[in-house]
Amino acid sequence: MKNLYLAFCGFCSAIIAPLANLFGRVYVGLIFWSSGTAKFSDMEETVELFDPAEDGEFVISFLPESLPPEIPAYLATIGELTLPILLFVGLLTRFGAAGLLIMTIVIQFFVPGFDDHQHYLWMSVLAMLIGYGGNKLSLDYWLLKDK
C-alpha cells in the first residue's frame, strides 16, 4: 500500500503539479491580460476610471487626491499587460505573480465598493505561484536548472 501511495505521489509531483502550475499561471494571466487590453484600448476612459474628480470606479483610497489620475491608470495598464506575459511563459514567475498579487490586494482592500470574493481565488493562485515559482513547464525552470 505504501509503494502504491508513493507511486501516486511521484505521478502527482511529476505530471499533475507542473500542469496545475501552468494552468494557474495562464488562468490568472488571462484575467489581467484582458483587463489590461481593455484599459489600453481606451486610455482616456481608463484615466477617468482612476480620477477622483470623475468619481472613478478605481479610485484608490490611500493615494492623495492631488496625484494625477494618469499615473495609477498607466501603471495599472502597464502592469496588466506585462506581468501576465511573465506568467504565460514562466519567466520571473515569482516577480510577475507578486506584482499581480499586490494589484489584487489593492483592488480588493483599497478601492471602495470593489469587494469581489473572486479576488481571494486569484490571491490564492498568485501566492502559490510566488511560493513554488514556475515549476517544470516554465522558462525559469529551464534557465535556472543545473546543467
| Segments in 12-117 forming alpha helices (H) | 17-41, 43-49, 70-89, 93-110
Distance from C-alpha of 31 to C-alpha of 73, rounded to nearest angstrom: 17
Domain ranges (residues) in the chain: 22-144
Which of the 8 DSSP states describes residue 16?
Answer: I
Q: Are 10 and 2 in contact (CB under 8 A)?
A: no
**pLDDT over 70, % of the chain:** 99
pLDDT of amino acid 147: 57
More confident residue, 100 or 113: 100
pLDDT of amino acid 55: 80
Which of the 8 DSSP states describes residue 4?
Answer: H
Cell of 105: 490586494
pLDDT digits (tens, 9 = 90+) for 11-48: 999 999 999 999 999 999 999 999 999 999 999 999 99
pLDDT of amino acid 111: 85
- What average pLDDT does the structure give for the chain? 93
* pTM for the predicted model, two decimal places: 0.90
